[in-house]
Amino acid sequence: MSEVHKDYAGAKFGMWLFLFTELLLFGGLFILYGVYLHRYPEEFVKAGGELNVVFGAVNTLVLLTSSLAVAMSITALQKGNRRLTLVLLAVTIASALIFLVNKYFEWSAKIHHGLYPDSPHLKELAPGESVFFGLYYVTTGLHGLHVVIGGALLAWVFVQVRSGRVHAEDFVALENSGLYWHLVDLIWIFIFPLYYLIL
Amino acid sequence: MAETHLQATAPDRGFLTPREDYSGLFSWIFSTDHKRIGLLYFWSIVTFFLTGVTLGLLIRLELFLPGKTIVEAQTYNAMFTLHGVIMIFLFIIPGIPAAFGNLVLPIQIGAKDVAFPRLNLLSWWLYAIGAAMALGSLFSGGGAPDTGWTFYVPFSVQTTTNVSLAAFAVFILGFSSILTGLNFITTIHRMRAPGMSWGRLPLFIWSLYATAWVQVLATPILGITLALVLVERLLGTGLFDPTRGGDPIMFQHLFWIYSHPAVYIMVLPGMGVISDIIPVFARKPAFGYKAIAVSSIAIAAAGSLVWGHHMFTSGMSDMAVLVFSLLTFVVAIPSAVKVFNWVATLYKGSISLDPPLLFALSFILLFAIGGLTGLVLGAPATDVHVHDTHFVVGHFHYTMFGGTGMAFFAAMHYWLPKIYGRMYNKRIATIAWGLIFVGFNVLYLSMKVVGMQGMPRRYYDYIPEFTRLNQLATVGSWILGIGVFLMFFNLIRGTFRGQPVGDNPWGGATLEWTTSSPPPTENFEVDPVVTHGPYDFKAAGIL
Ligand code: HEM
Ligand SMILES: [Cu+2]
């Protein structure tokens, strides 16, 4: 195209729309959660008791910190402080990794106890508990996938900032990746109470 | 393509002119020009449509006689599944928005391109990948999927055929659809030319706008539903399995929460095409512009609340059945508003019966028949009788094929001369239209009647009493098939050999008719400023 023009408002508008579709994607799972909780309240409480609040709480803290870091990195870039931007982005990416490692340990422990989809142990439990764990794995798995994607996106932006292609006058790539990361955080803020706290 | 030969007869080939940056095919599949992407979509969609038609003809051939006619039962199951998947996900959903939306949306609002040209190219690539996977599911794994396009559990989780790949393919196609919708919404909000107020948007744009919202808001639900079928198959999570506390009815809810609104993704753009065509060929401003525009939004909104009418016989509370039935009837209102406005636009117009209008008129008639038989299905008492019979198959072919399919054909005959700068043979186009119209009604009316008599859908065999009507339907499918192939033959010949047409062969007043045919790469030589409404033929200097 002859003239390269950038429409920031348009780019952000598009990103918001996309985030909306992501929310709806998880919305389907939350609907199932609602219906099955309504149907099996006791089994859900029993199965939910198996989840370790410490793992969930640590991950919540990690994500909240990372959301703060990415928000600050945008301000830093706007002020032209590239070094600080890079440090803050590194913190965010590191948080994503910590989150995933933590999730790995959490899942390993569950699997070790024979609690995984299609496991013989689950088949012996009441149907409601089986459904609970099915939802637990699908929801946190899908969320984990989003953490991976968000982390990769931020790593890409990190490279762009370092090479100077994303800078104080042209930072919509960072802003949109930041928005994506906030979404990942936001969804977790729903998952955490639903699975770890209220049951 | 015989480039040199063509350049001799048509001096300016606009955006079709070969590019320097990439050569040949690559200048198309890596192009970010919305018109090139539109044509990529168009020709891939047409290819799949013809594949789907061929499968449809084979299905009908098998049903010519009771018992085995040409294939075994398992092959039959695979055939109607693939026919459904192709027609729904590769033809009718992307059809008008992705092909004609991409071709004309930016031109109609006076923009150089869509808001995100590279995302637009990505959408097409996703479409191509999804389509390749859907076809690949035929030849890999445990064989061609046999679930029907709805992938209903528990069968879709238990069958050993290659449902996983097919479901994943549809997931990718959904992603492509979302990106197109997102792109269009942003484009319409941000890229309108000076003077192109919301009140001056062509009605086609209004319909694409409403469609795009449905694409963005409904498709993610389909994504998660199919993802769940995938994990059920791969990991056995049991979310839809009653023995583990799951519920297959929940699958149906999730599936239809998407798939009923998807009906509007299919039909709204078609209505938009019709709303654009009728004023041009009646030489009159669209009657009730506002009502048509608003009814698009109303259909999109109300249509999102009626999914339960697919499940009257699946076991829902009586209250739920009542509410869903009522809401279903409500959607008929904005659709009827449109039909009345089209008819009012035609009333006392000076009508020229060119091919685009012929297809537009058959849209109105066939869609109305489809809509009315829809009410039979929307009322629980009658639905119980005809549920899952050929009556249903007749009904949705009337709405989807008779509706959106005809609108797609109308759009081809309306806009291709603009895009290629050449006109097809109008007499052959009219003959093809006649064959299609007659064949269509013979085929699907017979299917409705035999369905009413009790012939179930998705059945390989039937009792001898149904033979006569099935044979009639099959003969209808032959007439229809000949018409379809004649139509495409004529169009393809026209795009290569047809008479060059000027900028405005039909006398339209929307912006695309003010630029050259084919349009230049940047759409307009001079950036347009809009001074009148889309159907103000006087102000455009046409009347
Ligand atoms: C020449 C054209 C066509 C013919 C002869 C044809 C024929 C048929 C027949 C006989 C069936 C019923 C199979 C059964 O229930 O046993 C069927 C199913 C179906 N058709 Fe078509 N059709 C044609 C075009 C189309 C078009 C244009 C569309 C979409 C817009 C379409 C969408 C479908 C769908 C969604 C099904 C349901 C498949 C399923 O049950 O899973 N068809 N078609
Ligand atoms: Cu429906």
- β-strand partners of B422: B500
Is the Cβ atom of B397 under 6 angstroms away from ligand 1? yes
pLDDT for position B236: 86
Q: Does A173 touch chain B (CB under 8 A)?
A: no
Cβ burial B395-414 (10 Å sphere, 16+ → b, else e): bbbbbbbbbbbbbbbbbbbb
pLDDT for position A5: 59
DSSP H helices, B455-517, are 467-497
The whole-number average pLDDT for the span B356-373 is: 95
Q: What is the pLDDT of residues A98-144, one digit of tens each?
A: 999 999 999 999 999 888 888 888 888 888 889 999 999 999 999 99
Q: Which of A17, A27, A127 sits opposite B185 (nearest CB)?
A: A17
Tell me how long chain A is.
Answer: 199
Listed residue (B398, B446, B415, B454) closest to B39, CA to CA: B415
Of the pLDDT bands very low, low, confident and very high (cuts 50, 70, 90), residue A4 is very low
**End-to-end Cα spacing for chain A:** 56
For ligand 2, the distance from its centroid to the CA atom of residue B159, given in whole angstroms, is 26
pLDDT for position B237: 87
Q: How far A126 CA lies from chain B's nearest CA (Å)? A: 8
Q: What is the C-alpha separation between A13 and B189, in angstroms, rounded?
A: 9
In chain B, residues with a C-beta closer than 8 Å to the C-beta of A26 are 224
- Phi-psi category of residue B14: left, alpha or beta, with phi > 0 → left and psi -120 to 50 → alpha: left
Tokens in use for A158? Answer: 């990190």
The whole-number average pLDDT for the span B488-503 is: 94
Q: What is the C-alpha separation between B33 and B530, in angstroms, rounded?
A: 23
Is the Cβ atom of B83 under 6 angstroms away from ligand 1? yes
Q: What angle do CA A162, A165, A167 make, to 5 degrees?
A: 80
> Are B196 and B99 a contacting pair, CB within 8 Å?
no
Q: What is the C-alpha separation between B85 and B79, in angstroms, rounded?
A: 10
pLDDT for position A6: 73
Q: How far B314 CA lies from chain A's nearest CA (Å)? A: 17
Pocket test for ligand 1, best of B87, B265, B396 (most atoms within 8 A of CB): B87
Q: What is the pLDDT of residues A172-197, one digit of tens each?
A: 999 999 999 999 999 999 999 999 98
> Are A193 and A29 a contacting pair, CB within 8 Å?
no
Q: Which of A117, A128, A142 sits opposite B236 (nearest CB)?
A: A117
- List residues of chain B with CB under 8 Å from any CB of chain A: 32, 112-113, 115-117, 119, 178, 182-183, 185-186, 189-191, 216-217, 219-221, 223-225, 227-228, 231, 235-239, 242-247, 250, 253-254, 522
- Residue B481 pLDDT more than 50? yes
Q: Which of A14, A22, A135 sits opposite B239 (nearest CB)?
A: A135
- Residue B47 pLDDT more than 90? yes
In chain A, residues with a C-beta closer than 8 Å to the C-beta of B115 are 7, 10, 14
Locate the chain B residue with the closest alpha carbon to A29: B224
Is the Cβ atom of B57 under 6 angstroms away from ligand 1? yes
pLDDT for position B540: 87
pLDDT for position B7: 41
Q: What is the pLDDT of residues B202-245, one digit of tens each?
A: 999 999 999 999 999 999 999 999 999 999 999 988 899 888 88
Tokens in use for B478? Answer: 């032959």
Global ipTM: 0.91
The whole-number average pLDDT for the span B278-298 is: 93
Ligand 1 atom 7: residue of nearest CA:
B56
In chain B, residues with a C-beta closer than 8 Å to the C-beta of A24 are 217, 220-221
- β-strand partners of B499: B423
Q: Is the pTM of this model over 0.90?
A: yes
The whole-number average pLDDT for the span A44-54 is: 90
**Ligand nearest B399 Cα, by number?**
1
